Amino acid sequence: MDNPFEHIDKPLKPVPEELKAKVMSDVATAKLLMELASLFSVDVVKIIETTISKRKK
């Protein structure tokens, strides 16, 4: 069994361009989905803070 910690101080291997492009595309898709989810979700903490501050006034 190969110990992965033995390879920590070795130089990195080059990554194929098609793999790099796929990873960057997946990251962009995930970011888009996160932004859409935050757009259509309710920020409960903000609602509670607003309610408490209005109640004190």
What is the C-alpha to C-alpha distance for residues 41 and 28, in angstroms, rounded to an integer? Answer: 20
Count of structural domains, the chain = 1
| Over residues 31-53, mean pLDDT | 88
Asked if residue 5 belongs to a domain, the reply is: no
Residue-range definition of the domain harbouring residue 38: 13-56
Average model confidence (pLDDT) across the chain? 89
pTM to 2 decimal places: 0.56
First-to-last C-alpha distance (Å) of the chain:
66
Asked if residue 57 has pLDDT above 80, the reply is no
Q: What percent of the chain has pLDDT over 90?
A: 44
How many helices (H) and strands (E) the chain has is answered by 2, 0
Asked if residue 36 belongs to a domain, the reply is: yes
**Per-residue pLDDT, 35:** 92
